[in-house]
Chain A
Amino acid sequence: MHRRKLWLLAGVVLAALALAATGSARVSGPDSASSSKAGTLVFGAEQGGGPDWCLNLILDVDCNAFWNVVFQTPVVRGAFLFTPQFNWKPDLISKAKLQVGPQRITYYIRKNAKWSDGTPVTGKDWKFTWQTAINPKYKDHIDPLGWEDIRSVVGSGKVVKVTFKRNFAGWKNLFSYILPQHALAGSDMLTVWNDCICNPKKGNAPIGDGPFLLTKFDRGSGVTLSKNTHGWYGKKAKLDSIVFRFITNTNSEIQAIRSGEVDAIYPQPQLALSDLRSQAGLKVVSHVGLQWEHIEIEQGTHGNPLAKQLWIRRALMQAFNRVAAAKALYGTLNPSVGPLQSLVRLKGEAGYANDFGKWNYSPAKIEAAMKAHNCSKGGDGIFTCNGTKVAFDFASTSGNALRTLAFTIFQDQAAKAGIQLRNAFVPAGTLFGSKLPAHDFDLAMFTYLVTVDPHYVVATFSCGNASNYTEYCNRNVTKWLGQSDRELNPGKRLKLITRVGKVLSSDVPMVPLYQRPTYLVYKTSVHGMVDNASSQGPSFNAENWSKG
């Protein structure tokens, strides 16, 4: 009797649990809304919430992570916004007027641009942002590039004039994140916005000048944005809230959208993503983005001495079948990914040219060049020149499946052309921490994440610059790059940059490979979502997102 009662009790408990579970589960597959509350969209975020994570984007050394930009673009706006077409679009301003001699930018702030507490966005906020950026207290936390070139910021109303001490061509990168002066004056910027985007003078009430406010930051769990009901300069958001949920494992992220736990994801490219294309109820959008993969060829004393010779670098250029590699790596995910043909501009940007298109995979041409330089093929099929085997150590970051696959492909291609590549993969910390800064490599494959502005080219290719890991040096290139950094006429600046691009394609200091594609996956029940493959990310138009 006693045992029977026990079984009965267990049965009742199980039945109750099952009923409760199914009763509470209003969630179904990807076709339906995953959020039990209408008007809330759940977005899987691949980064965020770690112990080091901080929200304050003005501290770009500490907090400038791509996902931070995604979380905050709908909350804190700037002068300009990157569009999906890789253009600048006035955001908080209606227009900006550029004058030269000295360089002066007049920003016309939108009349209806205001903070969520009703305070208008004014020149005071511009000035406060600049003063914060050049404050010596934050010198190790904020990249001073461009900020230190500013002489003054004048204007406390809707018109603000920024005068420069010397020309700074990348001025549109500045003021991309405007701080609320009335809320943050007197606060310690190193701590004030670590866990919230809020007004410390009003009991940490959320503050913003975009369509949403950051109302909750659960470290280790997610970020919640709620509709800015006080209004902003644009149209009101359609959604009540957006929850960015931290799912840092890509496989789990894929599973989460498959099972309908999240409405959208924006993962790093992975072969497993290809399955999502065929899943009903999901839409996959992919574009080439601003992360570009390349191989650096070290030409200094620590590198392979052979690489100092131009003809060897050109031979290397012809030893990689970049078309085949791009197809093998990304063909199923995004068939439009092809080889990148420029080192100074990316596909989709103005000025992109087919500079490297002249170099195709050609073992025959390599053989001819080798023979012309009295090199002979050994029994293993690898050339030897003056007693030195044409073999290179190929460094990259270990633990990255796509890079390992890329190396395997390149190694095979190069071997067929008589050039040996040896695996020299190391942990990312070692590659970026010691190998690259010490120029201690033969070939190194990694990714640059760049902005639309071509300023990064200056550091990468100028003679003697610490960021020029290849130690490539061409005085003309350095001169033109220096001029480009101070050239305020966009057309003339682009001409200088593209001229450099042509020279680089002859000098071959690097092998441009391909731009990595972005993947925006969302339910078909979600509307208004657009992939922005620039560094702005997909939340640039969050006010247009809706569900139903």
Chain B
Amino acid sequence: MLTYIIRRLLYSIPVLVATSFLIFTFVSITGDPLGRLRSNPNITAEQIHSIEHSKNLDKPVIVRYGYWIRDAVTKQFGTTLFGNRKIWPDLRRVMGHTLQFILSAIIISAILGIAIGVYSALRQYSLFDYTATTLSFVGFATPVFWLALMLQVLMVQIFLKWNVRVFYTSGLSSSVNAGHGFHFLLDRVQHLALPVIALCALSTATYSRFMRASMLEVLNSDYVRTARAKGLIERRVIMRHAFRNALIPLITVIAIDFGALFAGAIVTETIFTLDGMGFYFVNSLFASDPYPVMAWLMVVATMVIIFNLIADILYGVFDPRIRYE
């Protein structure tokens, strides 16, 4: 197992290097970090040339990539192009925020998805099954940005009619009097509720379909039939023999999802102005600053690789038929 993990990690290094070079090149050639200066008629061309020179923007992309690699390795991704701000502390902050956001979304989606999937499988072709299936497809088909905007309008305005604030539409906490302890927690929940619901819609749809299919497959398997033939009560057959085994493929899907979502649900975070990974990425991209974009990319790529690896390992742990050599 250890050899397998080490081998997988070693394979990921060239992947990271190649990805970083490609992205650095694309970001560098498509954006102009000095664009806003060029549109200012008071800033002269000489000044702009001087800035280009001082920030190495006049050097070939490959040379600038070399500078970036050096800073990334020795100076924790170095500093931003303007303002000379250290990148890593900001990235760490937004990672924490995104973690709160996606953890909540994934836990809720997983609970709902599993419950709906299992019940649908047990009551196959029932009214509940048809309704759940229809709703899952609605969940798949609904654009997140639309759902997010609708939630902002409907969920907030409905409660405001009764002069009650249940949800907030932006930010992670109240600007004024976010409170401490339980009040802080509650405030955070009120702020995260809508973005989590928006994100859950798609995830729940995915997980419930996965769980239903997996559960149906297991329910029709020989060992479940054997368990029933042995005279076990139905609840025990479902919970001990069917449910546990049906859960295996879903666990890996969730692990892979976690890595991917760590990139930040860019649309959701932008609409709800959540200070997370996606929002950070969008801000950096708008500033055409390749350095925070690159730092973000490396963190995300690493997380995707790690969680893919975790998914593979979990598969081996839960399914005794899988062995890594």
Q: How many Å lie between the Cα of A187 and that of B36 in the bound state?
A: 28
Q: How many Å lie between the Cα of A228 and that of B325 in the bound state?
A: 68
Please, which residues of chain B bring their CB within 8 A of the CB of A362?
A: none
User: Is A25 part of the contact surface with B, judged by Cβ < 8 Å?
Assistant: yes
Decide yes or no: A243 and B157 within 8 Å by CB, A433-B34, A460-B41, A467-B45 being known contacts: no
Which of B30, B36, B46, B271 meets A252, CB within 8 Å? B271
User: Is A247 part of the contact surface with B, judged by Cβ < 8 Å?
Assistant: yes
Interface residue count for A (Cβ, 8 Å)?
Answer: 75
Please, which residues of chain B bring their CB within 8 A of the CB of A40?
A: 175-176
Minimum CB–CB distance from B112 to chain A (whole Å) comes to 14
Is the Cβ of B80 less than 8 Å from the Cβ of A61?
no
Which of B80, B81, B168, B289 meets A261, CB within 8 Å? B168
Which of B44, B82, B153 meets A62, CB within 8 Å? B82
Which of A22, A190, A252, A451 meets B170, CB within 8 Å? A252
User: Is B139 part of the contact surface with A, judged by Cβ < 8 Å?
Assistant: no
Please, which residues of chain A bring their CB within 8 A of the CB of B176?
A: 35-37, 40, 42, 243
Contact with B along A127-140 (1 / 0, CB 8 A): 00000000000011
Which of B42, B55, B152, B163 meets A459, CB within 8 Å? B42
Stretch at the interface among A117-125, A214-222, A313-321, A513-521: A214-222
Decide yes or no: A220 and B82 within 8 Å by CB, A140-B50, A255-B152, A434-B32 being known contacts: no
Decide yes or no: A51 and B90 within 8 Å by CB, A251-B149, A429-B288 being known contacts: yes
Decide yes or no: A219 and B32 within 8 Å by CB, A51-B283, A54-B85, A143-B42 being known contacts: no
Please, which residues of chain A bring their CB within 8 A of the CB of B164?
A: 22, 25, 28
Please, which residues of chain B bring their CB within 8 A of the CB of A447?
A: 39
User: Is A332 part of the contact surface with B, judged by Cβ < 8 Å?
Assistant: no
Is the Cβ of A50 less than 8 Å from the Cβ of B44?
no
Decide yes or no: A437 and B90 within 8 Å by CB, A27-B165, A140-B54 being known contacts: no
Is the Cβ of A433 less than 8 Å from the Cβ of B169?
no
Is the Cβ of B287 less than 8 Å from the Cβ of A466?
no
Which of A27, A261, A432 meets B39, CB within 8 Å? A432
Is the Cβ of B284 less than 8 Å from the Cβ of A50?
yes
Is the Cβ of A467 less than 8 Å from the Cβ of B44?
yes
Q: How many Å lie between the Cα of A35 and that of B178 in the bound state?
A: 10
User: Is B38 part of the contact surface with A, judged by Cβ < 8 Å?
Assistant: yes
Stretch at the interface among B118-126, B183-191, B215-223, B224-232: B183-191
Please, which residues of chain A bring their CB within 8 A of the CB of B55?
A: 140
Please, which residues of chain A bring their CB within 8 A of the CB of B175?
A: 35, 40, 42, 221-222, 224, 243, 245, 262
User: Is A52 part of the contact surface with B, judged by Cβ < 8 Å?
Assistant: yes
Please, which residues of chain A bring their CB within 8 A of the CB of B174?
A: 36
Please, which residues of chain A bring their CB within 8 A of the CB of B90?
A: 51, 219-220
Is the Cβ of A191 less than 8 Å from the Cβ of B84?
yes
Is the Cβ of A255 less than 8 Å from the Cβ of B93?
no
Is the Cβ of B165 less than 8 Å from the Cβ of A25?
yes
Is the Cβ of A428 less than 8 Å from the Cβ of B35?
yes
Decide yes or no: A261 and B160 within 8 Å by CB, A432-B38, A467-B45 being known contacts: no
Contact with B along A250-276 (1 / 0, CB 8 A): 011101101111100000000000000
Is the Cβ of A433 less than 8 Å from the Cβ of B35?
yes
Is the Cβ of A247 less than 8 Å from the Cβ of B44?
no
Please, which residues of chain B bring their CB within 8 A of the CB of A49?
A: 275, 283
Please, which residues of chain A bring their CB within 8 A of the CB of B156?
A: 255, 259
Is the Cβ of A459 less than 8 Å from the Cβ of B44?
yes
Minimum CB–CB distance from A69 to chain B (whole Å) comes to 14
Q: How many Å lie between the Cα of A98 and that of B33 in the bound state?
A: 39
Is the Cβ of A429 less than 8 Å from the Cβ of B30?
yes
Q: Which 8 A-B pairs have the closest CB atoms?
A: A433-B32, A466-B45, A220-B275, A54-B83, A25-B165, A50-B283, A429-B32, A432-B35
A-B contact pairs, 14 of them (CB 8 A): A24-B190, A25-B165, A32-B163, A51-B283, A51-B287, A52-B83, A140-B50, A220-B93, A221-B173, A224-B175, A245-B175, A427-B30, A429-B288, A456-B42
Q: A32-B163, A37-B176 are in contact. List 19 more A-B contacts (CB 8 A).
A: A24-B186, A25-B164, A40-B175, A50-B283, A51-B287, A51-B289, A52-B81, A52-B82, A62-B82, A190-B84, A251-B149, A258-B157, A432-B35, A434-B32, A437-B45, A447-B39, A449-B40, A467-B41, A467-B44
